[in-house]
Chain A
């Protein structure tokens, strides 16, 4: 089937907008998606008999806006991958993509970064205690205004003046358990949010 220039232009504009929105998807996959939809549009237009701009517009409208379509691809991708892997790295990658799509995604990303950060800090302190028994750990000490400050220390610098090592050796089991727990909790919460978001997407 051949298409006139004007009609072809409409299809390419649509696919171009879609392609630009498929940020973060692998090049090869983007090509597949665009080719498949082009093939679909041509079949739809051909089935309607005459190739008219109105016919093309109807075929494109049936697919929804390129933005909506792209976000379904991206989120579907992201959820499938996050669900299969459950690795914090994959989750953060997926959340970065989601954050670029919506405000909700941005806040979930922010929360997850905080969760992972503290989880990793707890684990690091637990490990550091083995190498710096006198200086690493969870310390409390009076800060410049006299209030009590709380600080996780890896022990590379000397212990704070007037400070107290709250947990002592207990930081090793507690740090590990709390750190692993926090990383796992963050992962589950992030997946839960992604799943809720996906459910809220416009489906039939």
Chain B
């Protein structure tokens, strides 16, 4: 196991990968809570505010899916860089959804922390 992980350090173990994957949707929606952002800004927000290691090739298709589901909307905005950027913002349905997900997350992580408390004591 150690060897397999050493070969692909960026991948971590399978459980961790699934865990990250499951959180990505919530992480993206949460990043948009304060206002509209474009793809690269979302990526940077995820990198700076969390240790979710996100591959760029995953975020764009996911954004497109969230849009198809009506959770985010997008608009093109001209920029100083000389090319337009595609900004994403939460729709009312997206706000509703991220609130629900955040609630579920909080309840879940609290109960997990209670379960894991004995492990911390032993150290």
Contacts and interface: CB of A to CB of B under 8 A. Distances in A.
Interface of A: 1, 29, 32-33, 35-40, 42-44, 46, 62-64, 68-69, 72-73, 76-77, 79-81, 84, 202-204
Given A39-B84, A39-B85, A203-B24, A72 B61 contact: yes
Contacts, number: 81
Given A203-B17, A204-B24, A204-B54, A44 B61 contact: no
Interface string B14-46: 000100110010000000000000111000000
B52 A36 contact: no
A68 B76 CA distance: 25
A44 B43 CA distance: 11
5 contacts: A1-B81, A39-B84, A39-B85, A40-B56, A43-B40
B73 to A, nearest CB: 13
A204 to B, nearest CB: 5
A162 B33 CA distance: 73
A174 to B, nearest CB: 39
B104 interface: no
B61 A76 contact: yes
B68 interface: yes
Interface of B: 17, 20-21, 24, 38-40, 52-58, 60-62, 64-65, 68-69, 76, 81-86
Given A37-B60, A64-B57, A204 B40 contact: no
Q: Which 7 pairs show the lowest CB-CB distances between chains A and B? A: A64-B57, A72-B61, A76-B65, A80-B68, A36-B86, A203-B21, A63-B57
A111 to B, nearest CB: 25
Given A42-B81, A80-B68, A80-B69, A204 B61 contact: no
Nearest to B52: A204
A38 B65 CA distance: 19
A32 B54 CA distance: 22
Contacts of B20: 203-204
Contact of A80 (B17, B54, B65, B84): B65
A64 B61 contact: no
Given A43-B40, A76-B64, A77-B68, A203 B58 contact: yes
Given A39-B86, A44-B40, A204-B21, A76 B81 contact: no
A38 B39 CA distance: 12
A77 B65 contact: yes
